[in-house]
Structure 1
């Protein structure tokens, strides 16, 4: 089980949070102008790295606020937590065979 450090409430069990998907995905400015293939790419295609990923989480059973998490998908280690709208911190990429 993950221990997520909510920036507003402090460390809590992952069972209190809702996963919001990959962070820093910009919504298209004019969705109606996209082809079906482009819209499908936006909705469904996400990175699935082995290593560092930046994700959105919401403290559903707490303050109900959204924030970003940089996490290693291999070790599940949470490297940092940072606010929504903030630039992602510069972290070294982790490479796995």
Structure 2
């Protein structure tokens, strides 16, 4: 079982959390201006980095707050967690490389 450290509640078992996808994916400035292809890429295309990766998580059984975590996608180890709205640590894949 993985141990995930909620930045608000401290370390808890992984069963208390829900995965929310890639962190730091910016909503398009003008979503109505996007083509169908660009909108689909925004919704469904995400980076698939090998190594350290910034992800969104929710502490569903605890404080219910969303936060970001840096997890190694090879070893599944959590390197760090930080509150939503904070920047990703240096050297972490955090931005979506798609069209929008």
TM-score, scaled to structure 2: 0.88
| 1:91 Cα deviation after fit | 3.9
| Counterpart for residue 64 of structure 2 | 64
Would you say how many aligned residue pairs link Structure 1 and Structure 2? Answer: 93
SS in 2 for 1:88: coil
> Which structure ranks higher in relative contact order (CA pairs < 8 Å, sequence separation ≥ 6)?
2
Q: How does 1:1-97 map to 2 (within 5 A)?
A: 1-91=1-91
Flag structure 2 segments of 5+ consecutive residues without an equivalent: 94-100
Runs of 4+ in 1 over 2 A off after TM superposition: none
TM (norm. structure 1) is: 0.90
Runs of 5+ unmatched residues, structure 1? none
- 1:12 Cα shift? 0.6
